[in-house]
Copies of this chain bind each other. A is one copy, B any other.
């Protein structure tokens, strides 16, 4: 069994009952250091390390133990530190279905489900829980936010099985959540799911009671309502505050929360309609509701205004809501970023995103899991970095991408030489920008194959109903989202507006997100836009070749399985990069007629 970043940890953990027991056991296995543990219940998740003494709350001692052990493994001794998490709730959302499939999953089938019910290897679940705890994650939502019919049974006859699963996570300080279907009452014979209907409220209260009876530390619900054909309060003419608060009230007596996804937009837009601009949708919908949500309701907002594209500006809603509890949502599973075939490391994304959000603005963080039944849990061995970094940075958002990448490399491949480790760290650090260069240019987004979302299709979404257009023609490309255009930029605070609204100061990697730019326009570095597109794509592809060479140097030092998988997928990534380069360059060459200044091959 692959141990990911717990390489140096023992495999033989007995059944234990609490985070404190786990902490003590983990510490006891490392014989070159000896720690004592001191429990202070009031410290909660927090902990202090002072030399060989770890003091912390009921879960804090566990986080303290991993921190101390990771430090010890990286050669740091005599630590003196105090730590508590930046966000109380650090969630991992699985998009797993009961038939064992995983929506947007690239690491094998579900670890939890198969054949319409719970179906798992307890050993693997316990190891997963240990992995998650070791990087600070404290809640998992086990089923897809798109709650397919069967999954409703998790709150019904399958509840005892869910409770059993919760028991496997509990000693690791991890609480379970479930995605719920807003229309569940109707399945139970009620004539309506109207949140203001008393029988509906009673129904949810009784569901909550049953769940908390079975799972006393259950964390709460995740809800995707009125989004991409999911049912929701709109059906009954109610607001999302009314819908979410009704559920919030139902779980309130049990200390539960409702995580309400803000992913609401018109997914049946007419491409001819230029008055609707999808990135504006969430802000327009939720800003008027600021202050209307109850205290145990969290609004979960994706990092960008679209949907986990390779590069998006931060969602303006994350910056603007003042009286609503917010959860920031990332996507670890690489739906748009290479399907865990291509290397795309996210610490930089996490860091940049957290840096833009004022301290105190968020109550929670969430991420869509990249996990499945593959031996290494994540498909590509290096994709584990994204999971690890997410956990670490959800705890401590100001960790630098390099710090966390180095730590992950060292823990995962402890026997790597310093020079190999440095090469691997740099490869991972560079991977995001490289992926960006050979795929969609300069913030365009959505040039992927529809549905599948791997590989290029420049016009693939151009005439569809998803509100995702670039409107490339023979002269120019991009959407004007300034005040003169769709006005999207006006949703940002004034100082950010200024940066994005002026093409002269707008960061290059978002230029075509905010502006419509002629191919012959001259960019800040003196190149034309079209030349920049060509250059990025040629350079991105060359960089993958260079990355491949570096990987070949590192590979002999990696464990055999990792080496094989990495090299095999790198061959696919090279093909993918070449495909992106040529398709995007040809697409824009056909439109613009502009030749490459450097005379490189662009196909007809």
A582-597 to B contact mask, C-beta < 8 Å, 1/0:
1100110111110000
Cβ of A274 and Cβ of B463 under 8 Å apart?
no
In the complex, A457 has a CB within 8 A of chain B: yes
How far apart are A74's CB and chain B's nearest CB, in angstroms?
Answer: 46
> Is A31 positioned at the interface, with any CB of B under 8 Å from its CB?
no
How far apart are A589's CB and chain B's nearest CB, in angstroms?
8
Q: Which segment of A111-119, A333-341, A468-476 sits at the interface?
A: A468-476
Contacts of A460 in B (CB 8 A): 457, 459-460
In whole Å, how far is A579's beta carbon from the nearest beta carbon of chain B? 8
Overall SS of chain A's interface: loop
Q: How many residues on the A side are at the interface (Cβ–Cβ under 8 A)?
A: 26
CB distance from A116 to the nearest CB of B (A): 18
A590 to B458, CA, bound (A): 14
Scan A564-604; emit 1 where CB is below 8 A from any B CB, else 0.
00000000000000010011001101111100000000011
Of chain B, the residue at the smallest CB distance from A474 is B474
Contact A604 B456 (CB under 8 A): no
Inter-chain contacts of A459 with B (CB < 8 A): 457-460, 587
Q: For chain A residues 459-517, which have a beta carbon within 8 Å of chain B?
A: 459-460, 463, 471-475
User: Inside 8 A of A590's CB, which chain B residues have their CB?
Assistant: 471-474, 591
The answer, yes or no, to whether A272 is at the interface (CB within 8 Å) is yes
Say yes or no: B582 contacts A272, CB within 8 Å: yes
State the CA gap A603–B273 with chains docked (Å).
9
Given contacts A272-B603, A274-B604, A604-B274, contact A593 B474 (CB under 8 A): yes
Q: Do the beta carbons of A591 and B458 come within 8 Å of each other?
A: no
Report whether A473 and B272 are in contact in the complex, using a CB–CB cutoff of 8 Å: no
Residues of B within 8 A of A271 (CB): 583, 603
In chain A between 36 and 83, which residues have their CB closer than 8 angstroms to a CB of chain B?
Answer: none
Contacts of A463 in B (CB 8 A): 456-457, 579, 583, 586
- Nearest B residue to A274 via CB reads B604
Are A593's CB and B475's CB within 8 A?
A: yes
Chain B residues in 8 Å Cβ range of A471: 590, 604
Known: A457-B463, A458-B459, A459-B458. A591 touches B473 (CB 8 A): yes
CB contacts (< 8 Å) of A474 on chain B: these are: 474, 590-593
Measured CB to CB, the residues of A under 8 A from B are 271-272, 274, 456-460, 463, 471-475, 579, 582-583, 586-587, 589-593, 603-604
Closest A-B pairs by Cβ, 10 of them: A473-B590, A459-B459, A474-B474, A272-B603, A463-B583, A474-B593, A474-B591, A471-B604, A272-B582, A474-B590
| A-B contacts besides A459-B459, A471-B590, A473-B593, 17 pairs, CB < 8 Å | A457-B460, A457-B463, A459-B587, A460-B460, A463-B579, A463-B583, A471-B604, A472-B590, A473-B589, A473-B590, A473-B591, A474-B474, A474-B591, A474-B592, A475-B593, A590-B591, A591-B591
